[in-house]
Structure 1
Amino acid sequence: MLCANIIKGGLYLYDAVINHANNGSGRAIRLMVSSALIILLLRKFPRIVPWGIHYAVIATIAHVYYRVFTPSVGPDIVAMQAIFMVILSSFFGLGKKWGTFYTLISAASVILVHYIPSKFAGLQPLPQNLSDLYISVNWLVILLSCFYFYGVLYENMRASKLLNVQLAEAADAKSNFLSTMSHELRTPLNSVIGIAGLLKSDYTNVQQREQLDVLKFSAESLLTLINNILDINKMQSGKLELESTSFSLELLLNGIAKGMEFNAQEKGLKFNLSVNNQIKGKNFISDPTRLSQVLYNLIGNAVKFTEHGEVTLSTEVEQSDASYITVRFNVTDTGIGISDDQLKLVFEPFQQATASTTRKFGGTGLGLAIVKQLVEMFGSQIWAESQLGKGTKFHFSIRLQLDKQKLPDTQGSAPEVAEISLSSLRILLAEDNMMNIYFMKQLFKRWNISADIAENGAEVLDLLATNDYDVVLMDMHMPVMDGVQATQEIRKLTNPLKATVYIIALTASVSDQVQKRVISAGMNDYLQKPFQLEELRIKLEQRLVTPEIT
C-alpha cells in the first residue's frame, strides 16, 4: 500500500501539473514523501511495523472519506478498492479487533455521506486514462496482498502439519525409548529382587536379613520410580485407561493395610485402618489396580514424612443407592506437614514441598502427580489439608458401582490351603539373560522343578520337537527368534498337543503394544518382570489344578 501510494501520488502530481496548474501538487508530494519515509523507517526498524500499518490504514481511511465526501468524486470504485485494502491490511496485519474497528469506520463512509451535509471541494477527478491506471494500481495492490496473505496462511498451515508430524514422531520415539529403557532396567531388577527374596528366606542371621531387606527395598524403590515415569508418560500420551472388574473393596483395603503396616512398624509408627460397615461384604465394579496405586502412593508418602505418631487409612460413605455407593477415602498422618504455599505445588510433577524435603526424604515428586491424574480419571478430585509440624490429610471420593451379579465375600479372606507341589510340572524356560537364568534355576530348585532352558526362540522349537511340556515360560526379547515369533511358530505345529502348549509371556516391557502382541500371538498368560515369586507360583499351581485350560 505504501509503495502504491508513491505511484498514485505521482499520478496525482502529473494531473495537477498538466491539468490543474499545480493545484493539488502539494498534497501529491506530501503523499509520496511521507510514504517513502515510512517505508525507510519500517525497513530500518522492523519492530514498528504495526505502527506503520496503523498509519497506512488511517491514511487510506482518510483518503476514502475525502473521496466519498467530494461531490465531484463520491463513493466510486476507487473508494471501494480503498475500503477493501483497509479490510485486508487491518485484519491480517493488526488482528481481528483492529480489523473490525477499521472496517466499520471505513465502510461507514458510504452510508454517512447521505446524512452529513458538509462536503470537500479540493479533490479533482482524474482523467479517464489516469483513472484507469490508478484503478489498475489498486487492483494490483489487492492482488499482491491476497497472494501474500494466502502464501503466509497456507505456509503456516503446512508448517503446523509438519510440526504435528514431528511432535507425533517425537512422542513415539519417547515412548519407544522409555519402553526400551524400562525393559533394560527391569530385566536385571528381576534377578536382583528375586535372588534377594530367595536369600532372605535362607538366612537366619539377623544382620544378613537386614542387609537383604535394604537390598530388596532399594531395588523395589528403583522399580517404583520406573513405574511412575512410565505412568506419567502414558497419561500424557492418553494411553492409560481404567479397567472395569469386580472386586471386594474390603479385601483390597485389608490387603493394602497389611502391606503398609510393616513399613509403618519399621519406623515405629502405628498404622490404623477404618472400613465403613456399609462397604463390608460388598463387591464393586471399577479398577482395583489403579485404586490400589493411589492408596499405596498416599500411604507411602504419609509413612515417609512421618517420624512419630501414626498413619490412618479410613473410609466414609457419602451417598448410596441401589446401584452406587460414593466412598470417601482419607489418608491422615502426624508428620511434618506442608505449608499453605507449598500445598499448591505438591500435585505438580517433579515437585516436592521444599528442596530440603527432597534432600532428607528423597523421591522425585512423581507420586502425587500420578495420584491426582488417576483420581481425575475416576471422575473425582483429590484434596489436601495440612498444618506444619502437625500432619497432613489427603482425601478424595469415588462413586463405585455395586456388583449385583457376584455374591459378596463375607469371609474377609480366602481360607488357607496346603501348598501344591510343583515337582510334576514339565517346564521349558525361554530366557537369554544369564542372571535371570541363574535366578530361575535357583527358584525351580526350591520348588523341586526340573526345567529345560532355551536361550532363543529357535531353541524353543527344537526342544519342543523332542519333548513334551506343560508350561513354556517365554521371554519376549530374545536373539535369533523372539518370543512372539516363537509362539506363532508353535501354534502352527501339526501335533495338537505341542501346538496348544500353555505359554506364559515373561517380559520387562510394559507398553500397551507389547500386551496386545502377547494376546494376538496366541500366548495364554502374561507376567511382568520383575514379578513376585508368589505370582508365578500361583499361575503354575493353577496350571496343575486346571491342565485342560489352553
Structure 2
Amino acid sequence: MNRDVGFFNFSVNKILTREQTILDQARIRLLYYGLWLAIIAVSALVVNIYLDHQYLLAFTTLILLVSFIILFKYLTFRPRWGIISHILLVMATMVNLTNVFITLQTVDIITAQIVLLIIIFSFYMLGQASGMFYSLMNLIPVLLFLILEYDNNYVIGIKPMTIDESTIIIAVCANFILIIFMHSHFYTAFIKSMKQLRATAEERGNLNVELEKVIEKAEKSAQAKSEFLSIMSHEIRTPLNAVIGMGNLLMMGNPRPDQRDNLDILKFSANNLLALVNDVLDFNKIEAGKVVFENIKFKIPDLMQNVCGGLRLKAEEKELEFRVSIDSSLKNKVVIGDPTRLTQIIFNLISNAIKFTPSGNVWVNVKCVEDRHNIVNVNFSVKDTGIGIEKESLATIFEPFTQESISTTRQYGGTGLGLAIVKRLLELQGLHMEVQSTLGEGSEFSFDMEFPVSTEVAPAPEENDQPVSVATPIDSMSQLRVLIAEDNMVNVMLMKKLFSKWGITPTIAENGERAIEMVQYGNFDIILMDLQMPVLNGFDAATEIRKMRDPRKANIPIIALTASALFDIKERVFNSGMNDYVSKPFKPDELKEKIQNLVATIS
C-alpha cells in the first residue's frame, strides 16, 4: 500500500505499487474502472426511474449509487480490494434476490446478467472458494424461485413493480458493458502475466547459464589451485629431496662430531621446511574433500610410542618435562581405524604444545573412557604449561593460517595450519575438539574417538626386536639391475650415491621415452620412475612398458618417485600399471624396503 496517498486522491496510479502482483493490480484497476462504469450506469438509471415516477425504486437505486461512490472513494484512499469485493458481492446478491422475490417477482434477462456478473466477478476477484460461495448464494435461490413459479406456488402479498423498456435497455447495456470489460481486463492481465512468466523464465535461464559459467570458473579455479600447489610442491620438494637426501648420505658416512652437529641442524631445518609444505598440501587436500579414511588394524600404545618418540627429543632440547601416560587396558587391544590420520592429529597437538611451551611440562594422556568389548571409546589429551590462549582467541585458533596474534607468529613461526588440519580431520569423522586454556598458565586439547576392536590377539612385543625383511637379503642387492628414469641431475647424483652405498650401479634414463628404449634393449630387475619428465612423462612410459610383448619386461616392478602432491596421484600411479609409490623427499630405508619387497615378489 502506498502510504503517501491522501484522502482526496482520485488517481488509480497512486494506489498501485511495485510490491503488488500483476493479478492484484488488475483487480484494483477492475474495481476502479468498474465502479466508474457502475456509477455512470446507476446514475442514468436513477434519472430514468425518477422521470418514470417510480420514486421508491429511484430511492433504492440512489442508495445503491451512494454506496458505489463511497466504495470508490475508499478504494482510492485505501485500496483494500478484497474487502471492497466482498461488500460489492453482498450488495449485488441482496439486489438480485430482492428483485427476484420482492420487487419484480420474475427472472428476466437482467437477473441472468446480474447472476453472471456475480459469478465472473467473485471468481476473478476472490478465487475459487469465494466464487463458489457467491455463485451458489445467487443460483440456488433463483432456481428455487423458477421451480415455485413453474408450479404457481410462489405467492406473496406485495404487488410486483413494472419497469419500462428504457430502464431495461439501460440496465442490459450497462451489464453487458461490465461483463465485456471484466473479461477483457482479466484477459489482458492474463496475457501480461504469461509474458512476465516467459520473461522470468528467460531471465532464470540466463541466470542458470551465468551460474554454470561461475561454477565452471570456480571448478577451473580450484583445479588451477590444485595444479599450482602440485607444481609448487614439486618445485620445492625437488631441491628438498636433494638437501635431505645428501644430508642422509653424509650422516651414513660416519661424520666427525662437529660435522654431525652441523648435519643435525641441516636435517632439522630441511624437515621443518618439509613439514610446512606438507601442512599446506594436507589442508588443501582436506578442504577439497579428497581425504579417505582407512580401516587398518593397529595398537594404540605402539602408535603413541612412535609419535612421541621423535617429539620427546624436541621437548628435551627445550628442557621440558615430557610425560606420556597410556591406559594399561589398551596394551593388548588391536583396534581398527586410520593410524595415519590419528598420528597426524596427535603429532600436530604435541608439536604445538612443545612449540608454545617455553618452560615447564607437556603431558600426553591416553585413557580408555568406555570398553564395550567390541568397541572402545578412547580419550586423547595433550596438556602443557605454555603461554596459553586468550578466551577471545579460542574461536579463531582453528581457522586456517591463523595464530593467536602476529607476535605469536613472529616469535614461534609456523603456518597456522596445524590446528586447522586437526579440526577438519576430526569434523570429517564427526568428532569435536575440547579446549581449556588460561593465558600464561597453559592449555589442554582433548577429544574422544571410538574404535572397533579386532578379535585378533596382539602378539607380545619382543625386546631388541630387529625388523626382519621378507624380501631379498640386503647382501644380494648389489646384484640388482636398477633403471632410474629421472631428468633432474641433482637427483640423479643423489640416487647414484645412495645406491652406491648398497653396492648398486644404476642405469639412468633422462626421460620416459629413453626409459622405454632401455627396457626394450636391456634387462632390469626394477625401475624407479619419476613422473614429471620431458619428452614422455612417467605415467605414459609405465603404460607403454606394460604393453610390451615380452612378459618379463612387461612385468618389471616399477616404483613411482615424485615430488608432486596432486590428490589423485596414487590412483593415477596404479592405473598406469606401476607397483608402488614413494614421495620425495623419501627415506632411504623406506625405498630400500620397497625395492626388496617388490623384487622378492616378482622373483
Is TM more than 0.5 here?
yes
Task: Report the Cα offset of residue 142 of structure 1.
Answer: 3.6
Distance 2:221 2:594 in 1: 38
Other-structure match for 1:476:
531
**Alignment partner of 1:144 is 2:182:** no
Give deviations 1:145-170, integer Å, cap 9, x for gaps: 35424643674366355244444444
Distance 1:75 1:247 in 2: 83
Paired-residue identity, %? 35
Distance 1:209 1:145 in 2: 84
Could you tell me whether the CA contact under 8 Å between 1:10 and 1:32 is conserved in 2? Answer: no
Larger mean CA deviation between 501-510 and 196-205 belongs to: 196-205
**Alignment partner of 1:71 is 2:92:** yes
Distance 1:222 1:81 in 2: 75
Give the number of equivalent residue pairs.
497
The structure with more radius of gyration? 2
**Alignment partner of 1:250 is 2:301:** yes
Could you tell me whether the CA contact under 8 Å between 1:75 and 1:110 is conserved in 2? Answer: no
- Kindly tell me: are residues 310 and 357 of structure 1, through their superposed partners in 2, closer, same or farther at Cα, counting changes over 3 Å? same
Secondary structure of 2:513's aligned partner = helix
Matched letter for residue 577 of structure 2: G
Secondary structure of 2:290's aligned partner = coil
Could you tell me whether the CA contact under 8 Å between 1:271 and 1:310 is conserved in 2? Answer: yes
Could you tell me whether the CA contact under 8 Å between 2:348 and 2:422 is conserved in 1? Answer: yes
Task: Report the Cα offset of residue 481 of structure 1.
Answer: 1.3
**Alignment partner of 1:269 is 2:312:** no
- Kindly tell me: are residues 435 and 144 of structure 1, through their superposed partners in 2, closer, same or farther at Cα, counting changes over 3 Å? farther
Distance 1:195 1:502 in 2: 26
**Alignment partner of 1:159 is 2:182:** no
Other-structure match for 2:227:
176
Could you tell me whether the CA contact under 8 Å between 2:75 and 2:84 is conserved in 1? Answer: no
What residue ranges of structure 1 are gaps of 5+ in the alignment? 35-54, 85-105, 116-123
Distance 2:496 2:578 in 1: 23
**Alignment partner of 1:457 is 2:512:** yes
**Alignment partner of 1:197 is 2:220:** no
Matched letter for residue 513 of structure 2: A
Partner residue of 1:305 out of 335, 356, 359: 356
Task: Report the Cα offset of residue 287 of structure 1.
Answer: 0.7
Distance 2:447 2:254 in 1: 43
- Kindly tell me: are residues 192 and 81 of structure 1, through their superposed partners in 2, closer, same or farther at Cα, counting changes over 3 Å? farther
Distance 2:82 2:463 in 1: 83
What residue ranges of structure 2 are gaps of 5+ in the alignment? 1-21, 47-64, 94-113, 138-170
Could you tell me whether the CA contact under 8 Å between 1:303 and 1:311 is conserved in 2? Answer: yes
- Kindly tell me: are residues 458 and 270 of structure 1, through their superposed partners in 2, closer, same or farther at Cα, counting changes over 3 Å? same
Give deviations 1:443-486, integer Å, cap 9, x for gaps: 22333220011111111111112221111001111111111111
Other-structure match for 2:175:
127
Distance 2:205 2:363 in 1: 55
- Kindly tell me: are residues 380 and 18 of structure 1, through their superposed partners in 2, closer, same or farther at Cα, counting changes over 3 Å? closer
- Kindly tell me: are residues 420 and 281 of structure 1, through their superposed partners in 2, closer, same or farther at Cα, counting changes over 3 Å? farther
Partner residue of 2:269 out of 218, 243, 249: 218
Task: Report the Cα offset of residue 492 of structure 1.
Answer: 1.5
Distance 1:257 1:316 in 2: 16
Could you tell me whether the CA contact under 8 Å between 1:323 and 1:402 is conserved in 2? Answer: yes
Other-structure match for 2:564:
509
Secondary structure of 2:283's aligned partner = helix
Task: Report the Cα offset of residue 295 of structure 1.
Answer: 0.6
Task: Report the Cα offset of residue 20 of structure 1.
Answer: 2.5
Give deviations 1:242-283, integer Å, cap 9, x for gaps: 011122222211111111112112222222222211111332
With normalisation by structure 2, the TM-score equals 0.74
**Alignment partner of 1:283 is 2:337:** no
Task: Report the Cα offset of residue 537 of structure 1.
Answer: 2.0
With normalisation by structure 1, the TM-score equals 0.80
Other-structure match for 1:528:
583
Matched letter for residue 87 of structure 2: Y
Partner residue of 1:434 out of 478, 486, 489: 489
Distance 1:180 1:295 in 2: 29
- Kindly tell me: are residues 33 and 238 of structure 1, through their superposed partners in 2, closer, same or farther at Cα, counting changes over 3 Å? same
Other-structure match for 1:38:
none
- Kindly tell me: are residues 263 and 156 of structure 1, through their superposed partners in 2, closer, same or farther at Cα, counting changes over 3 Å? farther
Could you tell me whether the CA contact under 8 Å between 1:476 and 1:482 is conserved in 2? Answer: yes
Matched letter for residue 521 of structure 1: S
Give deviations 1:156-213, integer Å, cap 9, x for gaps: 3663552444444443333333333333332232222222333345474556544444
Other-structure match for 1:98:
none
Secondary structure of 1:127's aligned partner = helix
Task: Report the Cα offset of residue 396 of structure 1.
Answer: 1.1
Matched letter for residue 472 of structure 1: I
Secondary structure of 2:447's aligned partner = strand
- Kindly tell me: are residues 237 and 81 of structure 1, through their superposed partners in 2, closer, same or farther at Cα, counting changes over 3 Å? farther
Distance 2:481 2:73 in 1: 100
